[in-house]
Chains A and B, each alone.
Chain A
Amino acid sequence: MPTTTPWPTCTRFPLVSPWPTSTATETVSWWWVTWVRRGHEMKLKVYQGTGLLSENALPDLPVSVTTFLMEQHEPRMPAVAVASGPFVYVYKNLRPYFKFTLPPLELNPMEKSVWDQAKEDKVDLMSMKEMLEQIRENAEMPLSVQSLRFLSLDLPEMESFVNQYKMQPIKRQTVITCMATLKKNMVDEDAVSCLVIGTENNEILILDPEAFTILAKMMVPSVPAFLDVTGQFDVEYRLTVACRSGCVYILRRDSKRPKYCIELSAQALGLVRVQKNIVAACSDEMLQSYTQKGKKLWVISLPATPVTMSLLDEKFQSFQAVLVALANMEVHMYRDKNLVNVIQTQDIVTSICFGRYGREDNTLVMTTKGGGLIIKILKRTATFHKGDTAVGAPVAQSIKLNVPKKTKLYVDQTLRERESGVAMHRVFQTDLSRIRLVAARAYVRALECSMAPVSESLQEPLKMNAVVQGMGPTFKLSLNLQNMSETRAVANLLVSFLYDEKLYSVAQPFFKAPMLVPGLNYPLVTFVQCLSTQGISDIIKVFVLREGASEPLLTAHINMPVSEGLAAV
């Protein structure tokens, strides 16, 4: 890791306060474009240098902003496309130029006939509602927004709604979920590009840059969320589509259906193509890489949830890396699976764009959640350490371990194991069963003699634990007695100690326990004096007895510690 940051430049300024959010940015050779939302007022802003160049109000929340070249004419000024709802707004020379609308979807004929009847007032509200509900449940084709809205209304509102809308033709419209660009027929930096849009209807459309007609239409099995496009429309192209289902589909020219499918471990939060490999950041905090054919290359875990990602393509040193903005206010830069740089930011970065900005080739533009804008310029002399880019096994695998030589005993043992493995297993199994039997017997005996510190008797379920405190020769013996029964209190219990009278003297060797209320813990304390000066210790047995019964309810064996206080005596 370079000690000095390779990102010397940092210009920060707020976009607009107080509550702006921006999710999409795009740098063109001269400008940097973003959209900003303040309250309900949404704007498309174009910046030049550090100053605002133009501002356009947006009618709805945009999902994607991109720039593309529409035609060959000089001067080559890129157009800005803003996808929002079912529309793509195209701005040329920083002025609104064209609005493309997604073609309406096919309507359910039954739904259409219902509304036709409503137009002629041949149907009452209740039967209309019933019919629409039936269509919604049974038909494969979803209902139009108008019908769905109608179904969600309460009865009094329905009539005015029908009166208001029955004369209008019903439409079923889908919305755009993502947008990208695809070069038309040349690879040049300033070549004409087509717009590629993904819709909520599981479709991918490619639009003509001049006429805005649909050149190609493809279907994917789920709703596309991120698009990456490479190649040229007229020659050969490849679409990489990350869908909401957590799958990445790869489509090629002339394929109406996906050619490859990659199932990610979780939903993708970003998709980037590094040369011929795909890198996806997933919601389970994993960064995964696959080849174009869906072979998994590597997986690394990220320290936090990714927010967005972008490709860093440094052309001068031909250095490519992936930038991943994380929810912990850091932007991590990965070259293959090696982390090469971390950029700390003051806020969560919501969109990243790397490219030429004005006269600087390697500019990183980031917008933050709180509405800040960060511009960083990569140092000309920046070098990122390459990490272990070697393919194959990691370095650690080839380090020789200092394994000791095989001894004769080891060889003999393995030989024996090989020869009489079955017999050894049987012997082991017999011994294991025997030890289990012994243990079970001992447990049963302990229960029978009430030797355990837990009483199993249904009448008096008791629990006791004993603690010895002190250094000696006087010890404090605390017994914690607890009644485990749910409801019944226990009375008339006696506590007795059994011990070697030559060694110990107990202050109260026999006393009556108080009535035990269920659930409460009763600490009973007595003092024990060690009489021996030999430094020996013994066991003191504690019995909890029921009055009149000879068999104890519980027994505890206390291993007394050696009296440390001997020297003082």
Chain B
Amino acid sequence: MGLFDKLAGWLGLKKKEVHVLCLGLDNSGKTTIINKLKPSNAQAQDIVPTIGFSIEKFKTSSLSFTVFDMSGQGRYRNLWEHYYKDCQAIIFVIDSSDKLRMVVAKEELDTLMNHPDLKHRRIPILFFANKMDLRDAVSSVKVSHLLSLEDIKDKPWHICASDAIKGEGLQEGVDWLQDQITQSNSINEDMKNQ
């Protein structure tokens, strides 16, 4: 790192970049959430099903996020695991109104948790219990129960109820993620300095 970069970093001009994976079943609202987090002038109007994946960028107060918005369709889900290695955080989106496929979401989450690239890493996972605006949506507590999130012991996780169309609940989640990443970064730096 050059002297100028360091200086910019201290002054808060240059933000630290983090890679985040956005996962979840098809039609859960991943692209809509990412779209809502982008600056309003860069937001797309129509959201279509993602094919393969797309890369999106947005900034928060202290971090610059690069999000890999993965397609959730069954035939593309085997792509997910190729990106586990390089990511520093995971956003997992759940359609709270789709009770039938909650088990499928749990199945995918379990596969993700047991993947060798992630199993022993302490990376933060943010869950969005999305589509809270729908009449038959279940609460975020119920979602975390259905996915047995309480069994995740070795990774920091957080679930927040969200409505991606209106943008409700998204900021809360991203703030938590930012805190987690900066925390783990400072710990890492400390360890390096020692």
Contacts and interface: CB of A to CB of B under 8 A. Distances in A.
Contacts of B98: 49, 358-359
B158 interface: no
Nearest to B110: A8
Contacts of B101: 9, 358-360, 377
B107 A49 contact: no
A380 interface: yes
Nearest to B136: A51
B103 interface: yes
A361 B76 CA distance: 13
A207 to B, nearest CB: 34
B100 A380 contact: no
A54 interface: no
B103 A9 contact: yes
Most buried by A among B25, B78, B100, B136: B100
A316 B75 contact: yes
Most buried by A among B78, B103, B108: B103
Given A51-B136, A379-B107, A381-B111, A11 B75 contact: no
B27 interface: yes
Name the prevailing secondary structure of the B interface residues.
helix
Contact of A359 (B26, B107, B108, B111): B26
Most buried by B among A9, A359, A360: A359
A290 to B, nearest CB: 34
B39 interface: no
A377 B75 CA distance: 15
Interface string B97-130: 0111101101110010000000000000000000
Contacts of B111: 381
A50 B99 CA distance: 7
A359 to B, nearest CB: 6
Interface in A361-407: 361, 375, 377, 379-381
B59 interface: no
Contacts of B2: none
B38 interface: no
B116 to A, nearest CB: 15
Interface in B18-72: 25-27
Contact of B103 (A357, A359, A377, A381): A377
Nearest to A316: B75
Contacts of B106: 8
B74 A377 contact: no
B100 A49 contact: yes
A316 B75 CA distance: 7
Contacts of A49: 98-100
A383 to B, nearest CB: 13
Contacts of A379: 107
Nearest to A51: B136
Interface in A214-244: none
B15 interface: no
A17 B100 CA distance: 22
Interface in A53-96: none
B74 A361 contact: yes
Nearest to A362: B74
A8 B102 CA distance: 11
Nearest to A381: B111
Nearest to A11: B100
Given A49-B99, A50-B99, A316-B75, A360 B104 contact: yes
B100 A375 contact: yes
A359 B77 contact: no
A379 B107 CA distance: 8
B75 A359 contact: no
Contact of A50 (B26, B27, B74, B100): B100
Contacts of A316: 74-75
A8 B78 CA distance: 18
B24 to A, nearest CB: 12
B89 to A, nearest CB: 24
Contacts of B100: 9, 11, 49-50, 357-358, 360, 375, 377
Contacts of A377: 100-101, 103-104
Interface in A82-121: none
Interface string A115-159: 000000000000000000000000000000000000000000000
Contact of A380 (B27, B77, B99): B77
Given A49-B98, A51-B136, A359-B27, A8 B74 contact: no
A359 B25 CA distance: 10
List of 8 A-B pairs having minimum Cβ-Cβ separation, nearest first: A9-B103, A49-B100, A8-B107, A50-B100, A50-B99, A380-B74, A8-B103, A377-B104
Interface of B: 25-27, 74-75, 77-78, 98-101, 103-104, 106-108, 111, 136
29 contacts: A8-B106, A9-B100, A9-B101, A9-B103, A9-B104, A10-B103, A11-B100, A49-B98, A49-B99, A49-B100, A50-B99, A50-B100, A51-B136, A316-B74, A316-B75, A357-B100, A358-B100, A359-B26, A359-B27, A359-B98, A360-B74, A360-B100, A375-B100, A377-B103, A379-B107, A380-B77, A380-B104, A380-B107, A381-B111
Interface of A: 8-11, 49-51, 316, 357-361, 375, 377, 379-381
Given A11-B99, A360-B74, A377-B103, 17 more contacts: A8-B107, A9-B101, A9-B103, A9-B104, A9-B107, A11-B100, A11-B103, A50-B100, A316-B74, A358-B98, A359-B25, A360-B100, A375-B100, A377-B101, A379-B107, A380-B104, A380-B107
